[in-house]
Structure 1
Amino acid sequence: MTAPVERHMTFTVPPLRAPSVDAMISVGMSTSCAYPLGLDSAFELSREVGFDGVEIMVTNDPATHRVERLLELSQQTSQPILSIHAPVLLLTHFVWGRDPRVKLERSAELAVAVGAPTVVAHPPFRWQGAYAERFLDIVRAVGDRYGVTVAIENMFPWKIAGRSMKMYAPGWDPSTMDCDAATLDFSHASLSGRDSLELARALDTRLRHVHLCDGSRASDDGGVFDEHLVPGHGVEPVDAVLNELAARGWSGSVIAEINTRKAGTQDARVAMMRETLEYARDALVVPRLHRLTA
């Protein structure tokens, strides 16, 4: 049984470390980038590479939802917690029970406790009954109750044995939903065949959070390979999206969500994350400098 979020406790939330550029856009790292290493290693990796903070992917590891431990690691590494990713994956089915609304509320409660302004949530699977039917209302209610931004992440259509399967309800594309905030994931956009720049423009002011990665288009037979490549190693217009966000004075967070499981060595993992951070800094800083001197 997993430990619940601690209640009625007072913690000192570490001050946010200012980004290394004059922009308001923080570039953080998801703790999933260190998988299969533990939470301690994720915070240390983010600190070593030079990210502005971390996104906590809530998993079966109890440390990912223990406020005291999260704040301790944040303080030790000077890595603010920028966002919480709700436990929406099939592998986290039993985290905080089976009720998806409870999972979302616990995620928001955790975000408040650690000083994170954003919660990332996936659209529900269509078989999640009443939660799927009332998802958008629930998201809005949870955001209002806890004072956090619940940003719905774009997913992708599934095909099994060449047949399209409706996996999500109300759908996989937040730009078609009556939602207030969304997360753009480049790897998921790639799988869906949706142009990331067009999706960012369709979301407009509702785009509040970005998962920085890259991907190749889904194969013609519908094969699903959610790659989460280092940006620039796939086909998505990642730099164009970041350029445009920076140029328009966007103030959300860009969170690296890179699959490093095949890195082989820690040095290789660090190199992948450094390349990711440098890519983001280049794409976000150049348009701002141009704008200031124009």
Structure 2
Amino acid sequence: MVGDSGHGQVRRSPRGRKVLVGLSTASVYPENTEAAFRYAADLGYDGVELMVWAESVSQDIGAVAGLVRRYAIPVQAIHAPCLLISQRVWGADPVAKLERSVRTAESLGATSVVVHPPFRWQRRYAEGFADQVADLEQRSDVIVAVENMFPMRADGFFGSKERSAQRLRRRGGPGAALSAFSPSYDPTDSGHAHYTLDLSHTATAGMDAMKLAERMGEGLAHLHLADGRGASMDEHLIPGHGAQPCAQLCRHLVDTGFDGQAVIEINTQNARTQRERSSMLAQALAFAREHLEPGRAASGSPRSHSGGDHDDT
């Protein structure tokens, strides 16, 4: 996937290549990392994206390698511990944590590391972030795909998710908002070699997902397939249950010979039973399989907009 320079453009494959669909271990929260491997194996996912966070197993290469062997499910990608809730995981130095994430990916056979742009208060990290990402890619076959994020919206402090989504639609954007990321929650502002496109984050940010994909171009190497209605809080709905162009984007990726990975990253915290959580994960996988299937892009789909026939309010 990586060019000869180690951090060049992502090579596109001929049309017809199967896009591998993984499961983010975050998708099974509040269940644990092993549960994610079990769901992935039972439902037929191609692998997992390991979210490194407070759970001890997620931080332990040996323990994760044991899960890979037990469930015969590979680790496709590592999500670096850069969430607010994981600021102390693997220490307090974000530079060292990103380096360790790449080395963990190498050890587990993963080909990608997903990382968020730096927070504004991480000044030293922010100043050297682009250079560090490029240097890590120069020294490794692992790509570092910087993810699009979203601002903190003022309407998040007032009213429900439904009302904030309605306000965003009326305004055509998030309105008054403050970005916690440097230099921006849009990683294309910094011009990295590789990107992760998250469709729940585009919803919360009020961004046009298709235009963002165009800006990312061949650097779009990793997809977090989820959905959102434009609420002020990140929703991570099952794809097809929100207002994002999930099906359209998937067809675009197939049409352009996407050579990266798709990962289901949805919120199943409201599932009352394991059976209900499994059903949600199965629905998301079925959507991905349908719309990322080679040949389906040419024949089209009855819906160009993924959320038109759903109402979750």
TM range (shorter): 0.7 to 0.9
Distance of 1:196 and 1:168 partners within structure 2: 19
1:209 aligns to what?
222
Shift of 1:286: 5.3
Q: Distance in 2 between matches of 1:290 and 1:229?
A: 26
1:87 — aligned with what? 81
Report SS of the residue matched to 1:250: coil
Matches of 1:208 and 1:89 in 2, distance apart?
A: 21
Preserved CA contact (<8 Å) 1:214 1:231:
yes
Query: Conserved in 2, the CA contact under 8 Å of 1:24 and 1:250?
Result: no
- Check 1:289–1:244 CA distance in 2 against 1; reply closer, same or farther (3 A cut): closer
Q: Give yes or no for contact 1:23–1:288 (8 Å, CA) kept in 2.
A: no
Preserved CA contact (<8 Å) 2:151 2:205: yes
On the 8 A contact 2:19/2:293 being kept in 1, the answer is: no
Aligned to 2:188, which of 156, 175, 179? 175
- Any conservation in 1 of the 2:17–2:294 contact (CA below 8 Å)? no
Following the alignment from structure 2 to structure 1, what is the Cα–Cα distance between the partners of residues 70 and 131?
38
How far 1:282 sits from its partner (Å)? 0.7
Question: What amino acid sits opposite 1:241 in the alignment?
Answer: L
Q: Aligned to 2:230, what secondary structure does the other structure show?
A: coil
Q: Distance in 2 between matches of 1:141 and 1:288?
A: 38
Q: Deviations 1:157-209 (Å, cap 9, x if unpaired)?
A: 22346853231102110222220000000000001111111211121101000
Q: Kindly indicate whether residue 25 of structure 2 is the aligned counterpart of residue 31 of structure 1.
A: yes
- Tell me the secondary structure at the aligned position of residue 293 of structure 2: helix
Q: Secondary structure at the match of 1:68?
A: helix
Correspondence 1:74 to 2:68:
yes
Q: Pick which of 207-216 and 171-180 moved more.
A: 171-180
Q: CA deviation at 1:290?
A: 4.2
Equivalent residue for 2:275, pick from 239, 244, 267: 267
CA distance in 1, matches of 2:208, 2:58: 33
The Cα RMSD (Å) is 1.6
The 3-state SS of whatever aligns with 1:110 is helix
Q: Give the corresponding residue for 1:5.
A: none
Q: Find the aligned partners of 2:230 and 2:86 in 1 and give their Cα distance.
A: 27
Choose between structure 1 and 2 for higher RCO, CA contacts under 8 A separated by at least 6 residues: 2
Mapped to 1, the partners of 2:296 and 2:144 lie a distance apart of: 27
1:151 and 1:33 map into 2 onto residues whose CA distance is: 19
- Deviation track 1:55-100 (CA, whole Å, cap 9, x = no partner) reads 0000111211212211111111111100000000111111111110
1:7 corresponds to which residue? none
Is the 1:243–1:287 Cα contact (8 Å) retained in structure 2?
A: no
Q: Counterpart of 2:56 in structure 1: which amino acid?
A: P
Return closer, same or farther for 1:133/1:229 CA change in 2, 3 Å cut-off.
same
Q: Hey, what's the Cα distance between the residues in 1 that align with 2:130 and 2:118?
A: 10
CA distance in 2, matches of 1:123, 1:243: 27
Runs of 4+ in 1 over 3 A off after TM superposition: 160-163, 286-291
Give percent identity, aligned residues only.
Answer: 40
Deviation readout 1:207-230 (Å, 9 max, x if unpaired): 000001000114xxxxx3110000
Unpaired stretches in structure 2, ≥5 consecutive residues: 1-15, 158-174, 300-313
Secondary structure of the residue that 1:209 maps to in structure 2?
A: strand
**Structure 2 Cα separation of the partners of residues 80 and 290 of structure 1:** 30
| TM, length-normalised to structure 1 | 0.86
1:65 aligns with 2:59: yes
Q: Which range is displaced more, 131-140 or 251-260?
A: 131-140
What is the deviation of 1:143? Answer: 2.0
How far apart, in 2, do the equivalents of 1:166 and 1:260 lie?
Answer: 26
- Secondary structure of the 1:72 match is helix
CA offsets, 1:104-160, max 9 Å, x none?
011001000000010000001111011111211111112222331000000012234
Correspondence for 2:94 among 97, 100, 105? 100
C-alpha distance in 1 between matches for 2:34 and 2:179: 38
**Alignment match, 1:12:** none
2:249 is equivalent to residue 241 of structure 1 = yes
Task: Flag structure 1 segments of 5+ consecutive residues without an equivalent.
Answer: 1-21, 219-223
Q: Residue 240 of structure 2 corresponds to which residue in structure 1? A: 232
